[in-house]
């Protein structure tokens, strides 16, 4: 009898894991020859897999990274795996707004085109501060990308139809923004959730201000039921890492799968009909009503303009 229970229990676990890790690929095979794509934090995780896939489709891929050793290594790997030589890196530290400005200046000088901007880089919840004294999550995940996108927007408009894709996370729903304390930096997970909620409002506002100008904007949650096995644990202690590694191996999908919805938003005509939308698993998804509040999106945009000193 126990034998039977064991078999039933094992089968149940097997099918639950299989369901959790169900894979969905972007089935739109459109090529991207002649397009220039900028991916922040393209040296690891989902960003690197996105870079490989888009370079494979013929795009010129530029990864924007803060660490030149890691970036060079990643460029070699992306070239090798995509069989493309049209891959390079440029230095960008999103935790330093002067670095963002310098980056944009040299990008606009060197590159005549920008067709797709992927705001991918992200910090998990860490209780640290950026060079400009913003909370690390809010500063890197939101403000750095906010300034970057604003400074590159003229080039995106010139290259219309163009796209802005911003990585967010389904955990946005656990928090709300506090405009009295945008730099909230207490519980790491909540700090992260707020920055990812800011990414959603940001993405919606980009869609609104560029409406009719040929630029479309997409917010992407890269997992579905499960999360993605990427490098984010490197910011934590070895013990925590080992524990999470085991859980990740059991429940999380590989980065190659995590990149699929980003790829979908980069190429699909179907996605382009939902500018300002939220995407999971290669299709549009529904946000909680509070995260669709256009007034909050506008308020965050204006507050961010003040924080990064955009006239
Ligand atoms: N993994 C998931 O399950 C999951 C779920 C939901 C959303 N996301 C989102 O997906 C995106 C990619 O994350 P991932 O999972 O691929 O994580 P990851 O492997 O940790 O990659 C994050 C990337 O961001 C870069 N980065 C961090 N701080 C930076 C800074 N100040 N300036 C420039 N680059 C910086 C990192 O560079 P270094 O290598 O130099 O640190 C790294 O390349 C993030 O926005 C994340 O929030 C991931
Ligand atoms: C921020 O970036 C600027 C310009 O790239 C650089 O000169 C400066 O040293 C950086 N600040 C810090 C604290 O690293
Ligand atoms: C950030 O805070 C530190 C210590 O509080 C201070 O020394 C530094 O000047 C501040 N940096 C900026 C850019 O305001």
> Is the model's pLDDT at 29 over the cut of 90?
yes
Q: Catalytic one among 192, 201, 218, 278?
A: 192
Nearest-CA residue for ligand 2 atom 4 is 99
190, 226 contact by CB (below 8 A): no
Catalytic site residue 2?
no
Structure letter (DSSP) for residue 193: H
Handedness of CA 104, 231, 163, 29 (dihedral sign): positive
Q: Note the pLDDT of residue 225.
A: 60
Q: Angle at CA 215, nearest 5°, toward 175 and 290?
A: 20
100-132 pLDDT tens trace: 999 999 999 999 999 999 999 999 988 899 999
Beta bridge partner(s), residue 56: none
How far apart, in Å, are the Cα atoms of 141 and each of 126, 167, 199, 268, 308?
12, 9, 7, 25, 14
Nearest-CA residue for ligand 3 atom 6 is 133
Largest CA-CA distance found in the chain, in angstroms, rounded: 74
162-192 pLDDT tens trace: 999 999 999 999 999 999 999 999 999 999 9
Q: What is the mean pLDDT of residues 130-135?
A: 96
User: Minimum mean pLDDT among 193-202, 219-228, 232-241, 257-266: which range?
Assistant: 219-228
Nearest-CA residue for ligand 3 atom 2 is 133
Domain ranges of the chain: 32-226+259-307
Q: Note the pLDDT of residue 250.
A: 78
Stated pTM of the model:
0.94
User: Is the CB of residue 222 below 6 angstroms from any atom belonging to ligand 1?
Assistant: yes
User: Is the CB of residue 91 below 6 angstroms from any atom belonging to ligand 1?
Assistant: no
Homologous superfamily of the 32-226+259-307 domain (CATH) = NAD(P)-binding Rossmann-like Domain (3.40.50.720)
Q: What is the mean pLDDT of residues 63-92?
A: 98
User: Is the CB of residue 230 below 6 angstroms from any atom belonging to ligand 1?
Assistant: yes
The pairing of strands 277-280 and 283-285 is antiparallel
Nearest ligand atom owner, CA of 95: 1
Ligand 1 centroid – CA 143 distance (Å): 15
Secondary structure class of 221 (helix, strand, coil): strand
Q: What is the mean pLDDT of residues 130-158?
A: 97
Q: What is the mean pLDDT of residues 226-241?
A: 83
Distance CA 68, CA 83 (A): 22
């Amino acid at each position: 009898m126990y034998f039977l229970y064991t078999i039933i229990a094992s089968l149940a676990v097997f099918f639950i894991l299989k369901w959790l890790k169900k894979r969905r690929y972007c089935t739109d095979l459109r090529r991207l020859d002649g397009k220039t794509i900028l991916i922040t934090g393209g040296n690891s995780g989902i960003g690197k897999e996105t870079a490989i896939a888009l370079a494979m489709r013929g795009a010129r891929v530029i990864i924007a990274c803060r660490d030149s050793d890691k970036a060079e290594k990643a460029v070699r790997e992306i070239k090798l795996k995509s069989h493309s030589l049209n891959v390079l890196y440029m230095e960008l530290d999103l935790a330093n707004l002067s670095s963002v400005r310098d980056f944009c200046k040299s990008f606009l000088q060197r590159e005549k085109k920008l067709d797709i901007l992927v705001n991918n880089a992200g910090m998990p919840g860490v209780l640290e501060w950026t060079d400009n004294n913003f909370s690390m999550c809010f500063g890197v995940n939101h403000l750095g990308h906010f300034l970057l996108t604003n400074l590159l927007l003229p080039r995106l408009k010139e290259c219309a139809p163009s796209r802005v894709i911003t990585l967010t996370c389904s955990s946005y729903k656990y928090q709300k923004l506090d405009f009295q304390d945008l730099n909230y930096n207490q519980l790491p997970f909540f700090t992260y959730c707020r920055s990812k909620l800011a990414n959603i409002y940001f993405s919606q506002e980009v869609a609104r201000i560029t409406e009719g100008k040929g630029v479309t904007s997409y917010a992407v949650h890269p997992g579905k039921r499960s999360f993605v096995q990427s490098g984010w644990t490197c910011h934590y202690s070895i013990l925590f890492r080992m524990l999470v590694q085991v859980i990740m191996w059991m429940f999380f999908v590989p980065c190659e799968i995590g990149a699929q919805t980003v790829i979908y938003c980069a190429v699909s005509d179907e996605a382009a009909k939902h500018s300002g939308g939220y995407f999971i698993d290669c299709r549009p998804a529904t946000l909680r009503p509070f995260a669709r509040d256009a007034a909050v999106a506008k308020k965050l945009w204006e507050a961010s303009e003040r924080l990064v000193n955009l006239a």
